[in-house]
A = this chain, B = another copy of it.
Amino acid sequence: MDVASHQDQFPLTGAFLAGRLRHRLSESDKAHLESLAGTPRPLKDGDRLVARGARIERAHILIDGFMLSVIEKGGDRFVVGVHVPGDFVDLHGFALQRLDHDLVAAGSVRVAEIEHRRLQRVMTGRPALAGALWAATLLEAAIHRRWIRNLEALDAPRRIAHLFAELHQRMAMTGRNVSRTLRTPFTQTDLADMCGVSPIHANRAVGRLRELGLAKIRRGDLYTSDWKALEAYAGFDPEYLYGGSLSSP
């Protein structure tokens, strides 16, 4: 069964861990997870799903669109993570009870929520699924580490190239977008906040990628004829995304 029809079968949670250790989940666990999720809810651009520090009692899976993990400080905004469909955006809040950052919709978004108390029962009754939930939060940590390395190692054009290469790969793992265009709702200011540069410099970095013939970025949409070249330029190596060959604990 291909990824798309699989996701027809599990419209809410079908992309969860897709391309990673989803294939290790039993049909029963996949069906159970799907049954835990509530009716999808839409969010508008800029809506804050979870606020930093607030006590939380449910988790959310992202079905459509993009979300950002944001830390604000004194009027400045710092993006510390990006989420794609299939991501359990605030699953770490289940174990930690509150978040150290905000979760904000980028563009139009659909999410489904799952009560913590239901996840609690998964912890005791379905150890394999519980392990998969744990692993999902750790995949996010691996992405954090890569971001740290990128901020330490790359200049602005390479950071932006790496960001899109990562998004492309993550969406491909869930069966989305393997074409020449990657559509996102991100403004250049968003890109700047993700890459730790000023909006003006993000603009020049985008211009540099165009100059180099690697990618055209227009209103968040990236067009390229050569993903491999873009990835090579950014030093992108998908190893840290733990695609495919992962088994559950």
Q: CB within 8 Å of B: which residues of A?
A: 53, 69, 71, 73, 76, 78-81, 92, 94-97, 100-101, 116, 119-120, 123-124, 127, 130-131, 134-135, 137-142, 144-149, 151-153, 193, 195-196, 235, 239-240, 242, 246-249
A124: nearest chain-B partner, CB-CB: B127
- Across the interface, which residues of B come within 8 angstroms of A247, CB to CB? 97
Knowing A134-B137, A148-B80 are in contact, say whether A100-B249 is a contact too (CB < 8 A).
Answer: no
- Assess whether B239 is in contact with A100, with CB atoms less than 8 Å apart: yes
Q: Is the interface of A mostly helix, strand, loop or mixed?
A: helix
A192: nearest chain-B partner, CB-CB: B152
- Across the interface, which residues of B come within 8 angstroms of A196, CB to CB? 151-153
A242: nearest chain-B partner, CB-CB: B96
Q: Which of B123, B149, B239 is close to A130, meaning CB atoms less than 8 Å apart?
A: B123
Knowing A127-B123, A246-B97 are in contact, say whether A137-B141 is a contact too (CB < 8 A).
Answer: yes
Interchain Cβ contacts under 8 Å between A and B, 13 examples: A71-B145, A78-B153, A95-B131, A100-B146, A100-B239, A124-B127, A137-B138, A140-B141, A144-B144, A144-B145, A148-B148, A151-B196, A152-B193
- Assess whether B138 is in contact with A96, with CB atoms less than 8 Å apart: yes
Within the assembled complex, what's the spacing in Å between the Cα atoms of A149 and B242? 24
Within the assembled complex, what's the spacing in Å between the Cα atoms of A122 and B71? 34
- Across the interface, which residues of B come within 8 angstroms of A152, CB to CB? 78-80, 151, 193, 195-196
Within the assembled complex, what's the spacing in Å between the Cα atoms of A248 and B97? 8
Within the assembled complex, what's the spacing in Å between the Cα atoms of A69 and B142? 11
A134 smallest CB distance to B (angstroms) = 5
